[in-house]
Structure 1
Amino acid sequence: MLLLLLVIVFIALLYGLWRYHRQSDSLSRSVFLGLFIGVLYGLVLSAFNIDTESFLPWVNIVGNGYVNLLKMIAMPLVFVSILAAIARLEKASMIGSMSFWIISTLLITTGIAAVDGAIIANLFHLDASSIVAGEQELARGQSMIESSSEVADLTIPGLILSFIPTSIGGTLVGLESTSMISAVVIASLLGMAALTVNKNDPEKGALIIRAIDVLQSWIMALVRFIIRLTPYGVMALMIKVIVTTDADAIWQLAKFLVASYVALFIMLIVHAFIIMLAGRSPIDHFKKIAPVLTFAFTSRSSAATIPLSIDAQVNKLGIAKPIANFSASFGSTIGQNGCAGVYPAMLAMMIAPTMGIDPWSISFIASVAGVAMIASFGVAGVGGGATFAAIIVLSTLGMPLELAGLLISIEPLIDMMRTLVNVSGSITAGVVGDKVLGNTTEQASFDDSSAQVG
């Protein structure tokens, strides 16, 4: 009976949100209303200590289902958008310029994020030896040790080789951890081939461009439909976050949680400073991408946020389509400021005192930042986000991996803000790329009927 009541209330809230969303002309307001409803309902369930074990699977149909839909369209959206953008470029050499500026921005900001995380961890006097390890934490640490074998033989040549696709079909269905970057490579090569055909035989080239336009319109129609589901997905995700959060564990590890959020918030300030140097208003910038960051926060998935990120960059920020697609794609796998920058650095600083290392040592902090930048590239090669970034950094520095498992109880809450910062960093890279190359890159946006995020 209780389960039936909870499901009925959940459906009623979804219906009310649907009624509001149908009448509202702003997806942003609907998203934030969904966020508010989700938090409120979750708090009510937690306050009355209601057992939600049988209820959450119903919530997951909406929340996880929406995330799955976004992951589903991420690959075809990136592939078709980059293919269409490059096929219309005047010069194929512009691809190299876009990649250079976007990847450079991602790596530099990741280095800054690592230094930021190291300093904040030291200022908060974080020390892994003060955290009591339970069964879950020790199991997580052991799992990280076992997973380290996947990155033990990681080399730069091997990493680069992993980006080169061996199968178009296998890449597009996401069989490999590097499939997203490989899809960018395939789309770029096919786009350059289209440029060649258009140059040698304009009549056939026009047919290819027309076929690409039709395919892009088809994919964008699907994207617009799924983006309209954002308020309901956010609402369900927030209900799950609230009712599954262990308040006692958070209290015990509150210092690390607060320190993490401080360091991650500082990175948002760094992004704002970069945005200002690019000649844009930081306040206006974050206002326009707020719904994208909200979804990144609730979904904890940089990859799932790609469609929203591309749409916001093009329609809200006026960034050229090729640059928006490159920054969103690369930013989901390379140079993640939160997962590969702040987080591993803070872990290293926590562990350092237990090994007799001075965490304030300039050389140690510099080495952590350098390794973090390399690891931010390595994450794309092995998959696994922050966990593998931590494995690469800690193992490279000769630190015990099992200590990282001590933070498992608050990992979800930290991961929410980490993902938000990752996405913000990728959009910042798009702004930088557009500032440098925008005047020479196609400025066309999605068609006027596209869904507006914000």
Structure 2
Amino acid sequence: MKASLNTQIFIAVIASLLCGLTLQQIDIDSSVYKKTIFVCGIIGNTFVDLLKMILIPLVFTSITVGVAHLRHHHNMHQIWKTTLVFFLFTSSIAVFLGLGASNLFHLGAGLDIHLFDTELQKFNTQSLTLQEFTSHFFHSLFINPLAAMVHGDILAVVIFALFLGIALIVLAEKAQTILNMTEELLAIIMLIVNWIMKVAPIGIFALLTKLVATQNIALLSTLAKFIVVVIGTTLFHGFVVLPLVLFAITRISPLFFFKGARESLITAFATSSSSATLPVTLRCAETHLKVDKNIAGFVVSLGATVNMDGTALYEAAAALFIANLTGIELNLLQQTIVCITAMLAAIGAPGIPSAGMVTMVMVLQSVGLPAEAIAILLPIDRLLDAVRTVVNVEGDMIGSLVVQKLTKLNQ
């Protein structure tokens, strides 16, 4: 009897941890280590590239069809409003958790910043003020949709898909042919997603093996307190706060949710990308969690672009960590500014190279912290990114369940 995809992925995770830990015991200059990491890199990158290959058409068709099927302006407005309120609510909780944990555990206090001179010397910061970030962000929303698709500007594709979906509602029967074609394209893309998922265990095994094998143990031990607190707080938000919100509003069991969302959460951890994981997330939301495909297409696709609880929490905690490390005490007003800026930065900045690093720099500069200090976080960012991406993706799926429940109650 063939094992289910969930079981195959679980076995791949366990095997990758064992292989990664074994590789850590091997000399990094040996041919075995180099060849294994090289092969894992090719396989893992190919899996991620397969997911990215269908990302843009999936986002475009799922949002267009989702919005068009809402049919009534009032219903669409209700879903849009509920989605944004939920995203803002959970992101606010995440930011306050990040700041609270940093204050409680005094992250960075007692560490000598000179320990990180090598990292600081290698890093060249890219400055971006809040005004520049805002200008870039809004400029990236409304651009040529074909150019957005070519360059992978997901948020711009989302905006155009929203407009197209609304136009299909207004034109109704006059545009039925276009709607039918879009529905058929979405069905084809979801079939391709199912094909890609057949090789997911292999891709996840390769990605996690390389992640575990290439971690710098010495640096991890130096920053152990920061890593443990940030991961612990992020997991608390993901495995306590969000499930409680889900249960309080929908009465859906956290056990049922995690069982249905497992494929997506493991893929998110392996790829460290909400966008790359989107095809899997949509599949889980619609197939396993029984979210209406139109609501899932809208909420999950939008969330993969703008809803980043884990990122917001991390950037708030990292700002206080760097403040303590450099001996700068942030007052209540400055911490409030960090909260607001971290929430804005978590939305992302499409079209800006190295957007994640740029937005982290923006958070630091908002309260006068040295932007160069971000170099300290770069060597451990891959590990932390994997964890916060899991929570980002989880928030999108929980959001779709909450929106479905609230909008049905009010219809």
TM superposition shift of 1:380: 4.7
- Secondary structure at the residue paired with 1:304? helix
| Residue of 9, 15, 32 corresponding to 1:31 | 9
What is the alpha-carbon root mean square deviation over aligned residues? Answer: 2.5
- In percent, how many aligned pairs have the same letter? 29
**Match in the other structure for 1:377:** 347
SS at match of 1:127: coil
Does residue 274 (structure 1) correspond to residue 245 (structure 2)? The answer is: yes
SS in 1 for 2:384: helix
**CA gap 1:286/1:92 in 2 versus in 1, 3 angstroms:** same
**Cα deviation digits, residues 103-160 of structure 1 (max 9, x gap):** 33222222221211112122222126534444552146x42x2x224x5542646533
Deviations 1:30-74 (Å, cap 9, x if unpaired)? 111111121222222223446322332222221110011111111
Partner AA of 2:309 in structure 1: N
Alignment of 1:47-86 (within 5 A): 47-49=25-27, 51=30, 52-86=33-67
Distance (Å, rounded) in 1 between the aligned partners of 2:48 and 2:376: 28
Structure 1 residue runs of 5 or longer lacking an equivalent are 1-19, 442-454
Q: Which residue of 2 aligns with 1:344?
A: 315
**Once structures 1 and 2 are overlaid, which stretch shifts more, 58-67 or 350-359?**
350-359
* Contact 1:103–1:334 (8 Å) recurs in 2: no
150, 155, 164: which one aligns with 2:142: 164
1:384 is displaced (CA, Å) by 3.9
Tell me the equivalent position of 1:173: 150
Gaps of 5+ in 2: none
Which residue is equivalent to 1:125?
A: 106
* CA–CA separation in structure 2 for the residues paired with 1:298 and 1:309: 14
Select 1:148's aligned residue among 116, 127, 142. Answer: 127
Aligned pair in 2 of structure 1 residues 113, 382: CA closer, same or farther (>3 Å)?
farther
Supply the distance in 2 between the matched residues of 1:154 and 1:420 (Cα, whole angstroms).
29
Q: Tell me if 1:137 matches 2:119.
A: yes
Q: 1:254 to 1:364 in 2, by over 3 A?
A: same
Pairing of 1:288-367 with structure 2 (within 5 A): 288-339=260-311, 341-353=312-324, 357-359=328-330, 361-367=331-337
8 Å contact from structure 1 (residues 314, 321) kept in 2 = yes
Q: Could you tell me how far apart the structure 1 residues matched to 2:145 and 2:244 are?
A: 40
What is the aligned counterpart of 1:262 among 223, 232, 240? Answer: 232
Letter in 1 for 2:65: A
Asked if 2 retains the 8 angstrom alpha-carbon contact of 1:278 and 1:432, the reply is yes
Q: Which amino acid aligns with 1:187?
A: A
For residues 153 and 379 of structure 1, do their structure 2 counterparts lie closer, same or farther at Cα, with a shift above 3 Å needed? Answer: same
Specify the alignment match of 1:285 in structure 2: 257
The separation in 2 between residues aligned to 1:111 and 1:294, in whole angstroms, is 25
For the residues of structure 1 that align with 2:301 and 2:121, how far apart are their CA atoms? 33
Taking structure 1 as reference, are residues 154 and 108 closer, same or farther at Cα in structure 2, changes over 3 Å only? farther
Question: Is residue 22 of structure 2 the alignment partner of residue 44 of structure 1?
Answer: yes
> What amino acid is the match of 2:235?
F
After superposition, the C-alpha distances for 1:375-402 in whole angstroms (9 at most, x for unaligned) are 2235457464542332121111111111
Kindly report which structure 2 residues correspond to 1:180-259, keeping only aligned pairs within 5 A, or say none: 180-198=154-172, 202=173, 204-259=174-229
**Mapping of residues 103-114 of structure 1, within 5 Å:** 103-114=84-95
